[in-house]
Every structure is written in C-alpha cells, then in structure tokens.
Amino acid sequence: MSAPPAIIRDGFGLYVPSADLHLDARRAPKLSFVSHAHSDHCSSAPRIVCTRETAELHRRRRGVKEVVTLGFGQQLPLRNATLELTPAGHTLGSAMAIVRSDDGILAYTGDYKLRPGPFSAGVAVPRCDTLVMECTFGEPRYRFPPEAEVLERLFAFIENALAAGDVPVVLAYAFGKTQDALFHLTTRGYHVGVQGPGAALCQAHVDLGYDFPGPGTWGMWPAADSQAQVLLMTPGGRDALPGSSRRYRCVHLTGWACSRNPARFTGGDFALPFSGHADFTELERTAAESGARKIYTVHGTPRFAAHLRSLGYDAEHLGNGSAASMPGRPATYSRAVPVDLAPRVTQLSLGLS
C-alpha cells in the first residue's frame, strides 16, 4: 500500500494531512498558515498561524478571529507533525512553513525571494523531502538585474524629472513594494509623499518597529504633505492626481517589466524590474539546493514544472486551483532577452495643484 501524499489539494486549497493544516487558504474550516499579509493570502479561517508582523498587518487589512504567532525557529505541535517558520524575504513578516512528521520534511515557500531586502532577514533555501514552491516568474526572461543597478536607474529617472521641473511618480503595490521603495528613497535623501493605503501600511511598519531611516523624510500625500519631491502610490492612484500646468513622470516598479509586453502590466509607463518574488535563477537554485525528492509548483506557469522535469526532478504543477499537470514534453523556452533599463518615460500633462 502506497504512503499517503504529503500534501493534497482539497476544496479549500493546499492541505497537509499530517498537520491538519491548510496553507494560505482564503477560507478553511480549522487552522490555516498565512505566509504574509497580501490581500490574496489573507484568510477568513477561524484560526491562523503566522509571524507576529503578519498577524498585525493581517489584523489591519482583514481582521482576524484567533491567531497563533510563531517566531522564526520556534516549533508548534500539530496532530502528527510540528510546524516551524523561516524567513521568506517577500514582505515584512513573510514566512515559509516547514512541516516535520514521520513522513519526512515538507517545505512550503509561499511567495518568496532569496535576495536581501530592507525588511527581510536572511533567506535560506529549506532542505526538505517535499518542496511546494511559488513560481510566479518561472520563465527565463525573468532574470532580474542586480537591485543596486535598478535603484540607480530609478534615482536617475527621478533626478531627470526634477531637473526638468516635473514631478516624479513611483508606482508600486501598496504593501511590500511601497515600503521597500520608500526605504530606498528616504535613504537616498528624498522627501516622499505616500498616497492612501500605502501610507497606512508604511505607518504600520513604523508601529511594528521597522522605521525608514532617512536622511530623507516622508508623509501622507496629499492630506499632510503637499510639498513632496517624489510621489509614491499604487498604479491606480494616478486617477487621483490633480491637474495643473506641471507634468508628472511615472515609473512602475514591477517584475513584469521583464515581460515581452510590459505595457500589458504597466499601462505603458516606464517600468523597472523591482520585485519581491524569486526570479528564474532563484527558482532553479531553490529546486537544486532543497534536495527535495518531490517538487510541486504553484502560481505561475506549468512550464516551470516541465522545465524541472527536463532537469531530472520529479515535479508537478498544482496551479491556482487546477489539477496537477501531467508529465509531458520538457519545456521549450525561447532564448532569454536582456532587460532594457533605458528610460522610456511616459509624461502626463497633469500636476500638483
């Protein structure tokens, strides 16, 4: 008789039988692990387990009924297993889940990256028997340039806009990328106006003890900060920009800047590849360094699981609610195209009132 699977997909999502635990389930009947506080990972389960930071951010964004918080390296007994959390590097408080049982070690990455960030501790690839890994950017074109290079391009964009008398606008997701961008912008010395939900989440970081060091400063825009040098907002925030004779120049921070058609994701703005997710090289490294006998991929394209099979791994794609992919032909990727970081600037005939 074959051993029961280490992980299955049921009506609520990914489920680990040995621990009676769901993973990043939007809803679940009992306990769900929440890897981080992005809205598509927040859960309405009656009980969640996560880091202290994720618990507080989850409470502010979606509320929470009952929460068990774990520090990195602490262990929680669950049914016939123990749960341990390790850093994931995606957002403040983001974590991977390590489940140990008599069946072996299962590691679930959640959204993650191995590159260091302002609010993430050192991230190590977990050693395990079964690996469940996120692969949003599981295609060769998504090999991100060094972050220092991307940031220098961002600062050059801002300086060019200011020199022309324009207003530089940095577009980023409200949670995670906005705070990372604000950290780098204030460290560079800019005074930054942060709009709406992103500003509230920046304040949440400060309340949790994670400050933005300066020497630049920041404030909520426009209510309390009409004199900002740089504006930081979500892509949808552009609709609230007031009109005048001055122009805005927009730059979108997104991993999708490496796409064949970045305008599909950026609305035509100049885009820079700045992301909280693992790129293709990090995904390959994760599979190799984990030592896993079985790999499941989630999110992203099934082609990455096929690519792993072509390298000799036992890999399947679990998708986003889809059935596991069947072994088939190896992935046939086109040759990766280098990322063009030359500024292609969209100028909007709008300005500060």
Report the distance separating Cα 265 and Cα 271, nearest Å. Answer: 9
Residue type, 294: K
The domain ranges of the chain are 8-141+276-319, 147-275+339-348
Radius of gyration of the chain (CA): 21
- Whether the pLDDT of residue 113 is over 80: the answer is yes
- Whether the pLDDT of residue 350 is over 50: the answer is no
> What pLDDT sits at residue 337?
40
> What integer is the mean pLDDT of 285-303?
96
Structure tokens of 32? 């769900």
The SS3 call for residue 102 is coil
Q: What angle do CA 210, 213, 214 make, to 5 degrees?
A: 150
> What pLDDT sits at residue 16?
96
Bigger pLDDT: 321 vs 53: 53
- Whether the pLDDT of residue 343 is over 50: the answer is no
Report the distance separating Cα 59 and Cα 61, nearest Å. Answer: 6
Bigger pLDDT: 216 vs 348: 216
- Whether the pLDDT of residue 338 is over 60: the answer is no
Bigger pLDDT: 84 vs 4: 84
> What integer is the mean pLDDT of 187-205?
95
- Whether the pLDDT of residue 344 is over 50: the answer is no
> What integer is the mean pLDDT of 322-347?
40
> What pLDDT sits at residue 3?
64
Bigger pLDDT: 156 vs 2: 156
- Whether the pLDDT of residue 4 is over 80: the answer is no
Annotate 278-347 with DSSP letters as a single string: --HHHHHHHHHHH--SEEEEESS-HHHHHHHHHTT--EEEEETSPPPPPP-SPP-PPPPPPP--S---EE
pTM: 0.88
> What pLDDT sits at residue 333?
52
Report the distance separating Cα 268 and Cα 252, nearest Å. Answer: 9
> What pLDDT sits at residue 196?
86
> What pLDDT sits at residue 306?
97
Q: Report the run of H or E that residue 99 belongs to, with start and end.
A: strand 95-101
Question: Which residues are within 8 A (CB) of 99 and not within 5 positions of it... i.e. 6 or more apart?
Answer: 16, 18, 19, 21, 78, 81, 82, 83, 105, 106, 107, 108
> What pLDDT sits at residue 245?
46
Bigger pLDDT: 260 vs 46: 46
Report the distance separating Cα 300 and Cα 109, nearest Å. Answer: 14
Name the fold adopted by 8-141+276-319.
Metallo-beta-lactamase; Chain A (3.60.15)
Compute the mean pLDDT over every residue in the chain, rounded to the nearest whole number: 87
**Letter string b/e over residues 171-204, b meaning 16 or more CB atoms within 10 A of that residue's CB:** bbbbbbbbbbbbbbbbebebbbbbbbbbbebbeb
> What pLDDT sits at residue 100?
98
- Whether the pLDDT of residue 143 is over 90: the answer is yes
Q: Which segment of 97-111, 185-199, 213-227 scores lowest on mean pLDDT?
A: 213-227
Could you give the C-alpha distances from 319 to 13, 84, 100, 314, in angstroms and in order?
11, 24, 24, 16
Backbone angles phi, psi at 196, to 5 degrees: 55, -130
> What integer is the mean pLDDT of 128-154?
97
Q: Using alpha carbons, select from 117, 76, 77 the residue that is nearest to residue 94.
A: 117
Domain 147-275+339-348: assigned CATH number: 3.40.50
Q: What is the DSSP letter of 242?
A: P
> pLDDT by residue (tens digit) across 22-74?
999 999 999 999 999 998 889 989 999 999 999 999 998 877 779 999 999 99
Bigger pLDDT: 322 vs 341: 341
